[in-house]
Structure 1
Amino acid sequence: MGRRTEGEESAAPGARPLRRDAELNRRRILQAGREVFAARGLQATLNDVAHHAGLGVGTVYRKYPDKQTLAEAVFGEELDEIAAMAREARAEDDAFAALAGFLERALARAAHNRGLRELMRHGTLEGAALTRARREITSHCEHLVARARTQGALRDGVTEADIAPIAAMIDAVMALPAEHPSETWRRYLAIILDGLRAHPRQAPLPGPPRTPPARIPGADQP
């Protein structure tokens, strides 16, 4: 048996060994994909990713033959990491605090990731890894909601089905122009979370709006 050369890694029996530089390129492409999709959204191209990664377009196409394949790989990892956040939240004693903390962490990630928000909004990517991660996130959230209800922390009538629309509402706030968007969405998340509580608290709201609320036509008419 020949000696494995430096730069190659072991692989499953019968599989061609993956060279270390090839694996490094794969990780480099995925990282570039994360950064490009986060900044430009899902309309970014494989050429954009190749340029950002400092690699030839052919190298990217050999690894990922189309944008859909790369986007599914990138966001599969993103959703896996969000699923891990939800899984960790289940270990907390206070289920409502755990659910609120998870929503804030997950939405904070989406606030700076245009592609992730587009994925959440439209769900146009449906690879197996994405489907599995979505199901895991949903399962963890259902568990937290059920436990918060059992603990008496959740107002009557709130169900697991309310979580996705809440995320969509916060996404809409993130899309609004604002001087400090990170403060704005956190403010409205706090308002929504207080509305979910069985016993709303009067904690100060984060980040007051920087501009007056929009005038409602006819509101000042007798």
Structure 2
Amino acid sequence: MSTTAVRPLRADAVRNRALIVDAARKLFAERGLDVTLHDVAEEAGVGVGTVYRRFPDKDALLAGLVTAKYETLVELAEQAAALPTGREGLRQYLLGAMQLRSSDRSLSTAVMRAAPQTAEALELRERLWALMGGVVARAQAEGAVRQGFTPDDVPAVSSMIGSIADRTRDEHPDAWRRYALLLVDAVCPPAGELPPLVGEPLAPPPAGCAVARP
């Protein structure tokens, strides 16, 4: 039997990887996919050689962003699956996924289209879908979710909220929360009486023209 084992990354290497991923996420969100690894190194405050050691090219960096996204969603789904009821789990996951999407300025869509599909990302995606399938199944068994709702619907409803967040971030940074709650209540109402919506409705165009912008 081989005695060779995969060594875990040192603490400084873990820190540098996190700095690089966070910097890349920020720059891609601000500038699009034309960002270079040198740009990322400067934003992260590390040497460009450090970036190349972790991510030898832009494809690898984009794949790293996808992996980080799935890691976050899997963690969120694991927390949802551990809650006492499917209703609580599904509501928490939906609101958490919407909150994540509200902060990324459509970055996830661009990155997912551009990044290569790595084995690690695919494995995480399968793990996510299995967890969410279990959460939805529990909620269905409890009669807590609308019939026909599946995990495949989650990206669509998250994108709806992301669209509102993208268009209102400067003028009304928390407006998405009102509409996220509206959607989650429609899919999986809370037990008991519905609570009031948070925030205020957006004014119609032209007064609230942020939503009307193409």
Q: TM-score, normalised by structure 2?
A: 0.76
| Identity of matched residues, % | 27
Give every structure 1 segment of 4 or more consecutive aligned residues whose post-TM-superposition deviation is greater than 3 Å.
12-15, 17-20, 197-202
Matched, 1:160 2:151: yes
Deviations 1:81-127 (A, max 9, x none): 3202201211212212211111222332333334xx42246622222
1:213 match? 204
Judge which range, 146-155 or 172-181, deviates more.
Answer: 172-181
TM superposition shift of 1:14: 9.0
Matched, 1:53 2:44: yes
Query: Who wins on radius of gyration, i.e. which is larger?
Result: 1
Provide the C-alpha distance between the structure 2 equivalents of 1:19 and 1:142, rounded to a whole number of angstroms.
32
Structure 1: gaps spanning 5 or more residues: 1-11, 216-222
Provide the C-alpha distance between the structure 1 equivalents of 2:163 and 2:200, rounded to a whole number of angstroms.
17
2:107 paired residue among 92, 95, 118: 118
Provide the C-alpha distance between the structure 1 equivalents of 2:4 and 2:112, rounded to a whole number of angstroms.
37
**Alignment: residue pair count:** 197
1:37 paired residue among 25, 48, 52: 25
Q: Which amino acid in the other structure matches residue 207 of structure 1? A: G
Provide the C-alpha distance between the structure 2 equivalents of 1:92 and 1:19, rounded to a whole number of angstroms.
32
Q: Which has the higher contact order (CA 8 A, sep 6+)?
A: 2
1:202 match? 194
Provide the C-alpha distance between the structure 1 equivalents of 2:166 and 2:146, rounded to a whole number of angstroms.
29
2:99 match? 108
TM superposition shift of 1:29: 4.1
Provide the C-alpha distance between the structure 2 equivalents of 1:160 and 1:19, rounded to a whole number of angstroms.
33
Question: Is the Cα–Cα contact under 8 Å of residues 141 and 160 in structure 1 kept in the other structure?
Answer: yes
Matched, 1:72 2:38: no
Structure 2: gaps spanning 5 or more residues: 207-214
Q: TM-score, normalised by structure 1?
A: 0.74
Question: Is the Cα–Cα contact under 8 Å of residues 95 and 147 in structure 1 kept in the other structure?
Answer: yes
Provide the C-alpha distance between the structure 1 equivalents of 2:180 and 2:80, rounded to a whole number of angstroms.
18
